[in-house]
Amino acid sequence: MKDRTRPWLAVAVTLLWASTSLAEIYDVDPAHTSVLFRVRHLFTTVAGRFENFDGKITFDEKEPAKARVEGSIDAATINTNVKKRDDHLRSADFFDVAKFPKITFESTGMTDLDPTGKKGKMQGTLTLHGVSRPVVLDASFLGKGKDPGGHERAGFHGTTTINRKDFGLTWNKALESGGLLVGDDVTIEIDVEGVQQG
């Protein structure tokens, strides 16, 4: 007797492949991407950025809930435009870049999508200073199109706030007037332009 399930199985596998193949993979373009952070110092906010990073985004406009992101940052490339401060941030008091050279993020899911499918909450794991913890980013898809060279590009935005102590970044100094020199909350903001693979 013929096995009648095999043709249906083949069709199911084909349809599954077809649905997943619609997802496009974008390599992060460092020349048009920024990784910024802000943290309180005394009474104001200090901003900084990382200069070297790479990453990949898998995205299908029809199924944004299946979006996937992975990225890596060279911690030693931290830049707040003040060399003395940057050297301190690279030291064992903060990022300890000699011991923990990379900051990484890997997404684990996407929820709370708005009706357009262009905004939602991206869950993921952030590894910083050798500590891995779950974080949630407010993520947005900004659009896509071809650049003058004919390459397909897409734009994405993400922001989150973390407590640096959760990642073992505990250095601080008490002020004579009370309070502490450096705030605990760090706001991270990422603007990504990706170039489609292939």
Residue with the larger pLDDT of the pair 2 and 125: 125
Euclidean distance between CA atoms 134 and 27, whole angstroms: 23
Asked if pLDDT for residue 12 goes beyond 80, the answer is no
Q: What does the mean pLDDT of the chain come to?
A: 90
pLDDT at 82: 96
pLDDT at 42: 85
Q: Which two tokens stand for residue 194?
A: 């990706």
Residue pointed to by tokens 């897409």: 154
Q: How many CA atoms, within 13 angstroms, populate the side-chain half-sphere of residue 166? A: 13
- Residues paired with residue 103 on neighbouring β-strands, in sequence order: 73
Residue pointed to by tokens 């944004």: 64
Domains of the chain: 23-196 (2.40.128.110)
- Per residue in 134-166, pLDDT (tens digit) is 999 999 999 999 999 999 999 999 999 999 999
Asked if pLDDT for residue 11 goes beyond 80, the answer is no
Asked if residue 35 lies in contact with residue 50, where contact means CB atoms within 8 angstroms, the answer is yes
Give 14's pLDDT tier (boundaries 50, 70, 90). very low
Sign of the alpha-carbon dihedral angle for 116, 58, 144, 137:
positive
Euclidean distance between CA atoms 149 and 27, whole angstroms: 16
Euclidean distance between CA atoms 37 and 19, whole angstroms: 37
pLDDT at 13: 47
Give 127's pLDDT tier (boundaries 50, 70, 90). very high
Tell me, letter by letter, the H, E, C secondary structure of 90-113.
HCCCCCCCCCCCEEEEEEEEEECC
Least confident of 4-8, 36-40, 190-194: 4-8
Asked if pLDDT for residue 93 goes beyond 60, the answer is yes
pLDDT at 18: 45
pTM of the model: 0.85
Asked if pLDDT for residue 23 goes beyond 70, the answer is yes
